[in-house]
Amino acid sequence: MADLAPAELTDPAGASEISGAAPGDGSAGPLPLGLRGPLARARALLATHPVVDGCNGLPWSLRRRTGHDPTPGHRFDLDHGETGVRTDIPRLRAGGIGGQFWSLQVPAELTGEAAVTATLEQIDFVHALIRTYPGALHLALSADDLTEARDHGRIASLLGSAAGHAIDSSLGVLRSFYRLGVRSLSLTAGRSTPWADSATDEPRAGGLTVFGEEVVREMNRLGMLIDLTWCSADTMRHTLEITRSPVLWCHTAARAVCAHPRNVPDEVLSLLPRNGGVCMVTFTPEHLTRGSGPASVQDIADHLDHIRAVAGPDHVGLGAGFDTDPATAHRSPVPDVAGYPLLLAELIDRGWSFRDLAGLTWGNALRAVRGAECAARAARGRRAPSTATIERLDGERA
């Protein structure tokens, strides 16, 4: 899938200097940015190649804060700044966010239809947010929607990742989620699903069960991105063996830099060029430094440097995970969604090229979404919706 890189990824001037040219517009030459500081250059880059962030936990965070009434405008208003959370529209704008995967994760303790219902409520809530702030947010169901939102100065809002356990081991539920707009699903969360092993739970399947493989194939057919965040290394490898579309990690880090079990090992990262997927790096301190003191912007950059070196610059992205974990929020190196330019300034200081930065923020995620769409079109010509059940494929163990 690496050959699907859109034209706009190429630096029109062929230089490593950050250009102010509009994407794909070769006529405008590089702006004289050389004399400006790295932060100004970061902002210039974000104007044309805004961040597509893989994970923001605002939906659950607001649900927790507002209890039974998560109606936008009732107890919070994202338009005017919202101090209790780390995400609101002014700060998304300041941070240069052009696309956001809104997390649909629900607690692992919820099982059966409780998990399904909670996810449907989260989906409904994200749709309500998008409807409530039409000047800022734009529902994105496809790669074209992402670019259209950017071209209209709106933040493309993608639904995902939903939690694997929330499909209640049913491909019909999976397809329903897709129809409701969900575009990524994590195969596991902190606990294993009946069909895929989590990094932080006892291995049961040794990766994916037979039904787990069918979930992957059905996601390929739908064009729903497979999110390997939280999965065991075996599940990652197993999935990469069979998937025909790009995978992603919506918020993770490099295990070689920080030995957290949830982080991605190098040998998995090295499989990404062939797959075309993107590993999106979290800002969560626990995954950056394993809790050894507060993390810094340099720590995030270290992970990005490492993943760029191992997987290549086309396979690294950002998935900060704002508002996913209030407990560690105060230790985060980036206080809120306005902070992405700080990180990009650090990378500019480290000599990242325009091309690599534009891929990191925008191009790589866009290519993964588009790659999943292309793979889906091909798969739909080959196979009908799967009617497999976990009972039939995995037998009594399920």
CA-to-CA separations, 73 to 70, 79, 82, 85, in angstroms, rounded: 9, 9, 11, 15
Provide, rounded to whole angstroms, the least separation between the CB of residue 158 and another protein. 17
Among 104, 106, 123, 159, interactor with another protein by CB under 8 A: 123
For the segment 368-397, give every residue that binds another protein (CB under 8 A): 384-385, 387, 389, 392
Provide, rounded to whole angstroms, the least separation between the CB of residue 112 and another protein. 5
Strands (E), 84-168: 97-104, 137-139, 155-163
**Binding letters toward another protein, positions 57-76, x by CB under 8 A:** -----------xxxx-----
Among 55, 97, 116, 225, interactor with another protein by CB under 8 A: 116
What's the token pair of residue 110?
């919820």
171 within 8 A of 218, measured Cβ to Cβ = yes
Provide, rounded to whole angstroms, the least separation between the CB of residue 155 and another protein. 22
Among 24, 112, 206, 395, interactor with another protein by CB under 8 A: 112
**Toward another protein, which CB reaches closer, 167 or 272?**
167
Task: Write out the DSSP string of 190-221.
Answer: SS-BTTB-BTTS--SSSSB-HHHHHHHHHHHH
158 within 8 A of 184, measured Cβ to Cβ = yes
Provide, rounded to whole angstroms, the least separation between the CB of residue 79 and another protein. 16
234 within 8 A of 207, measured Cβ to Cβ = yes
Q: What's the CA gap between 162 and 139, in Å, rounded?
A: 16
Among 47, 81, 113, 383, interactor with another protein by CB under 8 A: 113
| Element (DSSP H or E) covering residue 157 | strand 155-163
**Toward another protein, which CB reaches closer, 4 or 114?**
114
Q: What's the CA gap between 340 and 332, in Å, rounded?
A: 12
**Toward another protein, which CB reaches closer, 170 or 292?**
170
Provide, rounded to whole angstroms, the least separation between the CB of residue 134 and another protein. 14
Provide, rounded to whole angstroms, the least separation between the CB of residue 106 and another protein. 12
Provide, rounded to whole angstroms, the least separation between the CB of residue 329 and another protein. 26
**Toward another protein, which CB reaches closer, 175 or 183?**
175
60 within 8 A of 122, measured Cβ to Cβ = yes
Among 44, 46, 120, 199, interactor with another protein by CB under 8 A: 120
Among 26, 170, 292, 395, interactor with another protein by CB under 8 A: 170
Among 15, 28, 84, 124, interactor with another protein by CB under 8 A: 124
228 within 8 A of 247, measured Cβ to Cβ = yes
What's the token pair of residue 365?
């995620």
**Toward another protein, which CB reaches closer, 331 or 380?**
380
Provide, rounded to whole angstroms, the least separation between the CB of residue 127 and another protein. 8
| 273-293 residues labelled b (16+ CB within 10 A) or e (exposed) | eebbbbbbbbbbbbbbbeeee
Q: Which residue has the tokens 């517009």?
A: 25
Residues ≥6 apart with Cβ < 8 Å to 151: none
What's the token pair of residue 326?
């209030």
**Toward another protein, which CB reaches closer, 220 or 289?**
220
Provide, rounded to whole angstroms, the least separation between the CB of residue 157 and another protein. 16
Nearest Cα neighbor of 316 from 302, 331, 305, 332 is 305
Provide, rounded to whole angstroms, the least separation between the CB of residue 204 and another protein. 21
Among 121, 148, 201, 305, interactor with another protein by CB under 8 A: 121
Q: Does 129 bind another protein (CB under 8 A)?
A: no
For the segment 176-215, give every residue that binds another protein (CB under 8 A): 176, 179-180
Nearest Cα neighbor of 136 from 61, 50, 54, 248 is 50
What's the token pair of residue 169?
């081991």
Among 5, 173, 236, 279, interactor with another protein by CB under 8 A: 173
**Toward another protein, which CB reaches closer, 42 or 390?**
390
Strands (E), 218-310: 225-227, 247-252, 278-281
Q: Which residues bind another protein (CB under 8 A)?
A: 68-71, 112-114, 116-117, 120-121, 123-125, 127-128, 167-168, 170, 172-173, 175-176, 179-180, 384-385, 387, 389, 392
